[in-house]
Chain A
């Protein structure tokens, strides 16, 4: 069993997906372990709610498992994964328009956030940064997060967001400009 897990760790996401497609539970578990933190942070930067982010992360994996039997690795796995994530995020935005979200401070969670730092300055920057990010249009925010947080290429982002590469570049540029403007007093 230990040997099997070690082997899975070496495998590409695409290979794991194909294994998950034939019901290999260890393969889907490896995918969950690899992608849970990138996904929850992607959602968290957009929604600012830990619980919603965790729910959506879980939904992504369930959808991924459902889709695994029919998965054909046409593009990079992360493109496929964030396509699902973005669809869920857009649905969540639509839902939250009807029912406003309750914004929670991540430091108030009972769970332990990574690298928890009590420095008020960091907390303040984080708060202002989140507010500034919140103000960005969905396209700008998603493009910037995929580019910087998830380190996807322009091509991968354009596939994920179903847009041209030049549109993606423009969104990222504008997102940066808007963030700089909003954060000029603290950075």
Chain B
């Protein structure tokens, strides 16, 4: 659509063309907008220019230093980590051997057996009440008249597991003596 013409004219345009011309009403407004837009584009370009400019560069020998670090890491991965893994493996094996040795030693602990054996009262299993725990017995001293009165001590039952020989577990003046013997 053709814009509305007026009798007003722009002196600059008149100077250029040497005659009076008429401009649309919004000519000045559009020109200012265009200048402003071009200004904005100029600002954009300046911002882009600054952004594209690299103000710094890496220090001398940066690549070599980085490669050296990479090589170090490479060596670490190739040599130290397997060595460390071996050490961990060896330590685990050593720990397992020590643990097994301690366990065997504990199992064959003679002192507890001797304590039990020292008392003549417990020579016969028939004369004392017993509670079977799997293939082991918790043995109570005669002065406990009813085996059901024995406190059910989970710990004792748990301790019964894995014992190979008789062992005194508890000595109490009210309860009596509890011991375990293998079936």
Q: Do chains A and B stick together as partners?
A: yes
**Which residues from chain A sit less than 8 Å from chain B, CB to CB?**
23, 25, 28-29, 32-33, 36-38, 40-41, 44-45, 50, 53-54, 57-58, 61-62, 65-66, 106, 109, 111-115, 125-126, 129, 144-145, 148-149, 176, 179-180, 183-184, 187
Is the interface on chain B under 10, 10 to 19, 20 to 34, or 35 or more residues?
20 to 34
Q: A40-B56, A176-B44 are in contact. Are A61 and B50 (CB under 8 A)?
A: no
B70 at the interface (CB under 8 A from A): yes
* Among B57-65, B90-98, B123-131, the stretch in contact with A: B57-65
Number of A-B pairs, beta carbon distance below 8 Å? 93
B51 near A144: Cβ-Cβ < 8 Å: yes
B56 near A129: Cβ-Cβ < 8 Å: no
The residue from A57, A115, A144 contacting B58, defined by CB atoms under 8 A apart: A57
A70 vs B56: C-alpha distance in the bound complex, in angstroms? 32
Name 24 interchain pairs, CB-CB below 8 A, sorted by A.
A25-B71, A29-B63, A29-B67, A32-B62, A32-B63, A32-B67, A37-B54, A37-B57, A37-B58, A40-B56, A41-B54, A54-B62, A58-B62, A58-B65, A58-B69, A61-B70, A62-B70, A114-B56, A125-B50, A126-B50, A148-B51, A148-B52, A180-B47, A187-B43
A53 vs B60: C-alpha distance in the bound complex, in angstroms? 15
The residue from A28, A125, A144, A179 contacting B70, defined by CB atoms under 8 A apart: A28
Q: A32-B66, A62-B70, A126-B55 are in contact. Are A111 and B47 (CB under 8 A)?
A: no
Q: A41-B55, A106-B55 are in contact. Are A28 and B67 (CB under 8 A)?
A: yes
